[in-house]
Structure 1
């Protein structure tokens, strides 16, 4: 699906209500509701090109129903993006709409994050942290799925071992579509300084530091005030 979208081969159709489409939608997506499909499909869509329909998430039944109807109307290349808009936004992918300019976690997250593996030597990981001036290394597997965090102070306290000896397993993560203000409040209450941003499959997208969120929130409040 992503290849079809990136190469502009497919036509995107959101089948959610108009007001939800206007708030935020996938780039270039048309909005055609179920009740308008029979009347608008052939007018607004090219029957010779693939069509991808989506709704809110995998629990929403609007997109599978729309896909079924489009096939009955003669469209031969119809795809249902089952995880829907929630999956797209959670992966930090581009968006359009009234809320598209509001920064989310994925927009603020640092994508240039030091990464280490469980079998990597602590000395090597520590050298990488010192080289980049970072306090935390995100521990991932070969597929970039987040396993844990390695803090500089923990690595410095033990030399000669491997990352698995001192990593903090199972860190809290957030999706890329998380609003910043409530996230900042949660991090402040829990005393959390950093949190990895992951896609719905657990792959690392970036790292958020509470200080960075505070600066972004303060700037927006200053502009709004």
Structure 2
């Protein structure tokens, strides 16, 4: 039976040095970005020759682009019909991997390569008196306010700090409207977005769950 697995299971199988990892997309997409250790075997070549290029005694993980891509489930079933026993489908694909700020290989110029991972961080209940000096000392001039599991709630910058009581809490003064981006976005696309919106910085978060990854400044985008 083919088993659908998530990225944590992929990491576990790879760390055990047992699994074979295979991207089944066409070569241009593999060259753009692929998971470290991933071999390239496009779906079109999943005939009898796949048995010669892969080891049946070892687990195999196949993946494609994302949940909407049907290449990996098709590849997994073809491998099963060829007699492979331990076949795993990383159905969320490489966009799930890239959006989690995990390493990759390829020519893609992604936000994950320029993100700053050490922004000023404040909890929702922190007093503004403790946040303000850290904001003033930081090059970005903002603090990212996070809740449980590092989910981004808002940001605090100079505008939010003007005229507020030192006893105020971060959640009372933070700006909830925050420009965010995923680690998997192309730097060129982010540069255009920031120029068009006049943004000095954007907060980088993981896909779906909105957990903080870091921050990217306009200067970093333009020097990339």
TM-score range, shorter chain: 0.7 to 0.9
* Structure 2 equivalent of residue 222 of structure 1: none
The question of 1:112 aligning with 2:118 is answered yes
The unaligned stretches of length 5 or more in structure 1 are 217-225
Distance 2:174 2:132 in 1: 12
What is the DSSP-based 3-state SS (H/G/I as helix, E as strand, rest coil) of the residue aligned with 1:126?
Answer: helix
* Structure 2 equivalent of residue 145 of structure 1: 151
Cα separation, partners in 2 of 1:83 and 1:132, compared to 1, 3 Å: same
TM value normalised by structure 1: 0.85
* Structure 1 equivalent of residue 189 of structure 2: 182
* Structure 2 equivalent of residue 24 of structure 1: 33
Of residues 208, 217, 222 in structure 2, which corresponds to 1:214? Answer: 222
1:164-221 Cα deviation digits (max 9, x unpaired): 11111141211112222332222122121110111213111110111222233xxxxx
Of residues 201, 205, 210 in structure 2, which corresponds to 1:194? Answer: 201
* Structure 2 equivalent of residue 166 of structure 1: 173
Q: Does the 8 Å CA contact 1:4/1:10 hold for their aligned counterparts? A: yes
Q: When the two structures are aligned, how many residues end up with a matched partner? A: 213
* Structure 2 equivalent of residue 223 of structure 1: none
Distance 1:170 1:143 in 2: 20
Distance 1:92 1:18 in 2: 23
